[in-house]
Amino acid sequence: MQRRHFFSGAATAVVAASAASVSRVALAALPEAPSQSSADTAAPLTPSSGRPYQPVVTLNGWTLPWRMNAGVKEFHLVAEPVVREMAPGFMVNMWGYNGQSPGPTIEVVEGDRVRIFVTNRLPEHTSVHWHGQRLPSGMDGVAGLTQPHIPAGKTFVYEFTARRPGTFMYHPHADEMVQLAMGMMGLWITHPKARHPLIAEVQRDYAFLLSAYDVEPGSLTPKVNTMTDFNIWTFNSRVFPAIDPLVARQGDRVRIRVGNLTMTNHPIHIHGHEFEITGTDGGPTPKAARWPEVTTDVAVGQMRQLEFIADEPGDWALHCHKSHHTMGAMGHGVPTMIGVDHRGLVGKIQKIIPDYMVMGERGMADMGAMEMPLPDNTYPMMTGTGPFGPLEMGGMFTTLKVRQGLAAQDWRDPGWYRHPAGTVAHEWAGAPLDAAAPRQTPPGRAPGAPSVRKPGASHEHH
């Protein structure tokens, strides 16, 4: 399995600063700024101080530890250049927080007093905007409008009360085009302080951000001026098959929190289940305003909470429904060759270009299995192998794995689903389709009857 490092990062790379371990002297100093070296999904961070809550699991991410200081939850974010492994061996120079892009998830409880120290180790100024929060205007993080920019090398402090529960995010509001294109973003979850009539208790609570980058195959750094033509479509800056699966025990109520910080909308689609949107970054959705969906569009700058009962065991695709967003970096510009007969042509071209090869005359599916030579630092257009062969996917795609009888805290990849006998689509073993038989039967006519055109009948008169 490629998930061999699942959760290993949580134990090794995160240095938690709990109230118990911090001396009085240290309380006068900046809180520790834990750093994460791994792009694996960290185990949920169960609160060791403050009010209890059910923590979220950040897909291929982690939650930032805090310290309590005289009743205030203190966090320390460090804006800095990072290297993110987007797919195995595909490393991208990005800007992020505390060692990763996206930055760590911040989890607090409704009513918490929160103080966030932000140290800027970028080569230019920045700021942090707390998307969706109710807070004093001067804490909103819009550089130039509500605060001075945080210069390179300086530390600023934000402080406010997390007034309403919900799903939020943070990102710079300074040189935004560049800083978002480089990956500066993170999730913020405010848990309810008590049972809330519109916030269900769930057994699995997942969160990730949609982000997109333009990294030319063979290069290391995103192009920051790209407006629409991105080529790397990610969940939390990871691409399939490097995105961990979302695991659920059969019967679990599952919440998936998704925020969109790309330049286009993403219709997020889950197979095998219907979900409801139970909340947005605007707050919980009233029950009368919920309806079942299997796809929901997450527009730019929006967040959505999808909720459902995971009652169908299996391996279910969970992906953006825009087909180019489930593809890797290569091949978006390849001409369509379906139906083109290349016989005789390849040899002639190869006299001039010895490496010339034909792609796509029968569709592009061959690329899923083909080992094409790639530039040094990229990943294939269509990749990933399942139990039945190549998945021909990349980008914004992962799986929801529903299994019977998992332990409550078991988040590990359970491997591929073992289908009960007789429940997998298979080759038809009966008589083949007669190639000479008529294939289309217009309404009201017996199969095989001759076509009769009514005089005067035309589309215009319909």
Is the peptide bond between 387 and the residue preceding it cis, with omega within 30 degrees of 0? Answer: no
Among residues 462, 15, 16, 38, the alpha carbon closest in space to that of 244 is found at 38
Rounded Cα–Cα distance for residues 43 and 308 (Å)? 22
Size of the site for Cu ion (CB under 5 A): 4
For Cu ion, the closer of residues 173 and 266 by Cβ is: 266
Count Cα atoms within 13 angstroms, Cβ side, for 90: 23
3-state DSSP assignment of residue 229: coil
Q: How far is the CB of 320 from Cu ion (least distance, A)?
A: 3
Among residues 304, 293, 258, the alpha carbon closest in space to that of 396 is found at 258
For Cu ion, the closer of residues 169 and 320 by Cβ is: 320
Q: How many CB atoms lie within 10 A of CB 309?
A: 17
The span of 110-118, 221-229, 312-320, 454-462 binding Cu ion (CB under 5 A) equals 312-320
- Choice from 169, 303, 320, 364 touching Cu ion (CB under 5 A): 320
C-alpha Rg value of the chain to the nearest Å = 26
* Binding-site string for Cu ion from residue 383 to residue 422, where x marks contact by CB under 5 A and - marks none: ----------------------------------------
Q: How far is the CB of 61 from Cu ion (least distance, A)?
A: 19
- Choice from 3, 121, 271, 322 touching Cu ion (CB under 5 A): 322
Applying the rule CB under 5 A, the residues between 256 and 295 that interact with Cu ion are 266
Q: List C-alpha distances in Å: 378 to 158, 217, 243, 374.
A: 38, 5, 16, 7
Q: How far is the CB of 291 from Cu ion (least distance, A)?
A: 22
For Cu ion, the closer of residues 129 and 238 by Cβ is: 238
The span of 72-80, 298-306, 318-326, 433-441 binding Cu ion (CB under 5 A) equals 318-326
For Cu ion, the closer of residues 77 and 256 by Cβ is: 256
Which pair of structure tokens corresponds to residue 55? 């923590």
With beta carbons less than 8 A apart as the criterion, state whether 56 and 189 touch.
yes
- Choice from 325, 328, 368, 380 touching Cu ion (CB under 5 A): 325
Q: How far is the CB of 324 from Cu ion (least distance, A)?
A: 8
Q: Running DSSP on this structure, what letter comes out for residue 327?
A: S
For Cu ion, the closer of residues 173 and 304 by Cβ is: 304
Q: How far is the CB of 445 from Cu ion (least distance, A)?
A: 43
Q: How far is the CB of 306 from Cu ion (least distance, A)?
A: 15
Alpha-carbon torsion (87, 33, 305, 253), positive or negative? positive
Among residues 360, 346, 349, 425, the alpha carbon closest in space to that of 388 is found at 425
The span of 113-121, 153-161, 316-324, 428-436 binding Cu ion (CB under 5 A) equals 316-324
The span of 130-138, 319-327, 331-339, 404-412 binding Cu ion (CB under 5 A) equals 319-327
**Is 154 a binder of Cu ion (CB under 5 A)?**
no
For Cu ion, the closer of residues 53 and 230 by Cβ is: 230
Q: Is 439 exposed, middle or buried (0-12, 13-18, 19+ CB in 10 A)?
A: exposed
Applying CB under 5 A, the residues found at the interface with Cu ion are 266, 320, 322, 325
